[in-house]
Amino acid sequence: MNADPKEWHVGLVGYGEVGRILAEDLRASGLMVSAHDLKLTGPHAQELQEHAAQHGVALAASHAALAERSDFIVSAVTASQTVAVAQACAKGVQAGAWFLDFNSASPGAKMRAAESIVQAGGRYVEGAVMTSIPPYRIRVPLLLGGPDAIEFSPLLNALGFASKVASVRLGVASATKMCRSVMIKGLEAMVIESFTTARAYGVEDAVLASLAETFPGIDWEKQGAYFYQRVIEHGRRRSEEVREVAATVQEIGLTPWSAQGTAERQAWVADLADAGLFGEKGTKDFARNANWRIEADRILAQVRPRN
């Protein structure tokens, strides 16, 4: 285990959008990077392999194989896989190696993941990503939590991250993220439901004018387009995150009616996207309309009764 973070071998579990961004930035800093993703054996394997080859990222055959070679592991997978990934990495984690859980999971899930890593001799730190990653890339605002977070934060920031410690108690950083997501992901779902319905009734201009009067600091045309784009493109991942949000609410004894509805709406839009309603994923035009009405009309064409 190297003490100098700039000599670390970094292991990325999850080579989706987040994993590839981190890989690019870490490799640009000269670090050795390996990655493992279940999709390396699926239909998207070639795309991931080509990206890895382009950026000098070594691909590992399993979670354990990745952990065995890594001084620092980042878990960046879908929320539902948080605990399973930690358990799989624990089979190969080096003594004293750092494990950063980047996933949008409930405090309870983070605690279960931590137990696996710590019992295997690793050092677990929970991470809560507090906004969309692409604009910030590796410097996305990141809250850390856990007994080792204070020691870990400066090491992580030496690699280009922008972390700060939320608490030495596990669950605090995740709870902050989850409670924020009740609002942010819920607002996305509400805008899609409200704007699409308004479009169906022909009252969208009146609705937007009313919203602008009540919330004058928000450009609702621009915000609406952004929300449609994000949910169309990332609704599957968002729906899984919001199911973890619902679990977070449930853990304190409150029925998560809002979070449950948000998860269903996000997943529903993701189903439409997977069916090709918004164009072919991976093309430059997919989910890139500046006019949210175009996407609303596509949705309406699916849900309106056909005469």
Alpha-carbon gap, residue 48 to 34, rounded angstroms: 12
Which CATH architecture describes the domain 175-303?
Answer: Orthogonal Bundle (1.10)
What CATH class has 5-170? alpha beta
Residues of the chain with CATH 3.40.50.720: 5-170
Predicted structure pTM score: 0.86
Cβ neighbours around 254 below 10 Å, total? 11
> Which of 248, 261, 263 lies closest to 105 in space, CA to CA?
248
> Which of 190, 279, 172, 291 lies closest to 232 in space, CA to CA?
279
Alpha-carbon gap, residue 56 to 282, rounded angstroms: 22
* Residue indicated by tokens 């805008």: 191
- Local confidence pLDDT in tens for the 307 residues of the chain: 677 899 999 999 999 989 999 999 999 999 999 999 998 887 778 999 999 999 999 999 999 999 999 999 999 998 889 999 999 999 999 999 999 999 999 999 999 999 999 999 999 999 999 988 988 999 999 999 999 999 999 999 999 999 999 999 999 999 999 999 999 999 999 999 999 999 999 999 999 999 999 999 999 999 999 999 999 998 998 999 999 999 999 999 999 999 999 999 999 999 999 999 998 776 666 767 789 999 999 999 999 876 5
Residues of the chain with CATH 1.10.1040.10: 175-303
Q: Who contacts 109 (Cβ-Cβ below 8 Å, separation ≥6)?
A: 79, 82, 83, 103, 174, 244, 247
